[in-house]
Structure 1
């Protein structure tokens, strides 16, 4: 995962931003697999309610994504730094979201890029 590479390279802001986007994409995949739809609004927070309709898998992703979305503005638009510990937690949460999406994609027979 690119976020992990950025974390290892000592770039916690980039790692956090990439982790957030990986989790958003995973959320769309989970909603697509479980509900055959995705959130299409301007706010990423809208996907949280869809995820909660997506069963246990969706609830797990919603829990992690909610925490990640709380970092989005700070990581992408504010001049404040992100600590390595915060970035590490963000990457771990994103990995959990991606793992759920991969598991669902594997169950449906879809190809998933393992990079």
Structure 2
């Protein structure tokens, strides 16, 4: 339909107004492309869910009947990293403000701290 509008309704023309040839996708081609795209998305989501599960298994938390949601997993991981950062800084006698309330700066402070040593 788009080709017909672009070419003034001429169904026989397969060229765009710029003179470059464009292939008209058949319904079979479109279906195949859609199925391939769906499969790629399924694989991507499967990998992402596996990564979340791996993260759930390494962060300490109270075992619940239901698995942690993705947002709960990310929040716990963030808090765990902040806690470990605070412990590392305290153990190495770093003189940085507390990790809480530093926003995104705590990561760069930790990086700078260990770059100096």
Fold match, TM over 0.5? no
**Structure richer in helix, relative to its length:** 1
Higher relative contact order (CA 8 A, sep 6+): 1
User: How does the TM-score come out when normalised to structure 2?
Assistant: 0.35
Specify the structure having the higher radius of gyration (Cα): 2
